[in-house]
Each structure stands twice: as structure tokens, then as C-alpha cells.
Amino acid sequence: MSATQFIELIINGLITGSIYALVGSGIALVYGTTRVLNFAHGELMMLAGYGVLLFAVTLGWPVLLAALATILIVMLLGAVIQRVTIAPLLKREDWAFNVVAATIGLSIFLQSAAQLIWGEQFQGVPYFFNGVAVIGEVRMPWQRIAIFLVALGVMGLCALVLYRTRLGRIIRATAQDAEAALAVGIPSGLVHTAVFAISAALAGTGAILLSPLVTVSPWMGASYLLKGFAVVILGGLGSFGGAVAAGFLLGLIESFSVAFVSTEWSNVVAFLFLIAVIWARPEGLFAGRGA
């Protein structure tokens, strides 16, 4: 393997990994605070894809404005989903499986609804950033580099909110003990909804960044959901930082697996790695502090 190839594999791994990290950290945030595994997370991505298609392509808005509008809408949707389908189930004794079942149902419902409304075709979104960056011998379209940089920025912002603001302290307190948080006057129910909205924003960001590369379709979120889950487990369930690190790790593993096996096996390698980790370290690779 030449040095150029090696650098290319690293860059590709980091770019794929940044999407996994975005999706996974959103799932981890929700799991960390509410112990809810949201199977409809991928559909939030899909809806964000259609949002950016509507605003940026059909209506022709500037990219930044379209992205902001899409993220706001997806945050609202995430909050509504939490309020309407998840919050009522949490009062039940066997809520853990009920929530999984309900969000699986919701996920397939949204997917088929999107298929009926927008059809089965894969719709392209033009690149937001044109041109190709040349670093030494490596040529990389700016769009792909932007994915990495924007993802890093958004996750950094999220970490800043979580660990350096009052809202973040409230979220982490709820994550540690929802009842105790309630006792000191934190409205845990509202915090759960807020966390869902933030998680939706992360999924939406991922989908917007991806949409020019993978095209928008009813199934665009489904394939990332399982990767997101894998990232959450690898990172130690519920750990935000762990999920980010695991996302990049999974991206790099997939990228480097291509050097040894053909591309259609790279997902098999990724999931086998997941099962091997579960076997050896059930608590995850980066288990540490929660939320």
C-alpha cells in the first residue's frame, strides 16, 4: 500500500466515520438520558433529506437557510414523536420493549408513507460545495471534506452545550437520575423532549451533509440506523463522547477493510467487529461517564 493510498483510506474513513458519529451520538444522547432506543432515528434522517430537497432544490433557497429550516423542522418532529409515541409508554412497567416495538412500527410506517407520498425514485441533490481540494497527491472533493468539518463542528457544539452550559448540566442530571432531578425542580419530562430534539438535529445534520452523495430516498436513513446502533454499543451505551470516538473507529475499520476484502464485505466486517467487541467487552470500548 502506497503512502497516498494510506492517506486516502484514512481520509475516507474519517468522512464516513463522521456521519456514523453524528447518527450514533444522537442515538447515544437519547439512550443516555432516557434509556430509550429509538428505531425511528433513521427516518428523522430521511425526513431531513426530503426537507433539504424541498428547500434547497425545489424552492431554490440558499443552502445555509435551507439547512437551518430543515434542522428546525426535524427538531420539531423529533419532539413531537417523543411526546406522542414515547412519553406515554414510559409509564408502563415493561416499557423498554414496548418503546422498541412502537418505534420499529413508526419507522416502517414513516418509510412506507414517504414511499407513497414522494415515490420510489432516488432524488439527487447538487453538491453544496464545488471544487476539489488537492493535498499532496490526494484529491478530495470539498463536499466530502465539508462533511467531516461540519460534523466535527456540530458535535463540538453539542459537547459544549452538554458539558459547559446550564442546559447541559440539567440534561446530565436527568440522565443520572430522572427522579432525583425531578425532586430538585428539573422538569424531567421536558428535558427528555429537548434531548430528542437535539438528537433529531444531529440526525438531520448528518442527512443534509449526506444528501448530495447518496441521493434522497425513503430508505436513506434505514441503512445508517444499524450503523448508528453499532456505534452506540461500541462506544458504551449512552456515552456521547464514546459514540463519537466509536463512529470514527467504525468508519476507519470499514475504510481499511476495503484494502483486504471487496467492498460488499465491508459491512460484514463492521458487524462482526461489533459482535466480537460485545463478546469481549460488553460494556463497550470507551465506557466512561454517561450522557
User: For binding to other proteins (CB under 8 A), which residues are involved?
Assistant: 31, 37, 85, 88-89, 92, 94, 96-98, 100-102, 104-113, 115-116, 222, 226, 229-230, 232-233, 237, 264-265, 267-268, 271-272, 274-275, 278-279, 282
Distance of closest approach, residue 98 Cβ to other proteins, in angstroms: 5
Distance of closest approach, residue 211 Cβ to other proteins, in angstroms: 22
Q: Of 149 and 276, which has the nearer Cβ to other proteins?
A: 276
Distance of closest approach, residue 67 Cβ to other proteins, in angstroms: 29
CB within 8 Å of 217: residues ≥ 6 apart = 46, 49, 120, 121, 122, 123
Q: Of 8 and 85, which has the nearer Cβ to other proteins?
A: 85
Q: Of 109 and 122, which has the nearer Cβ to other proteins?
A: 109
Q: Of 108 and 213, which has the nearer Cβ to other proteins?
A: 108
For residue 70, what is its C-alpha cell? 430543515
Nearest 5°: phi and psi at 37?
-100, 110
Q: What own/partner pairs with CB < 8 Å and gap ≥ 24 does 155-158 have?
A: 155/21, 155/22, 155/25, 155/202, 155/244, 158/25, 158/29, 158/198, 158/202, 158/240
Distance of closest approach, residue 79 Cβ to other proteins, in angstroms: 18
Q: Of 13 and 236, which has the nearer Cβ to other proteins?
A: 236
Cα gap 179→129, rounded to integer Å: 47
Distance of closest approach, residue 115 Cβ to other proteins, in angstroms: 6
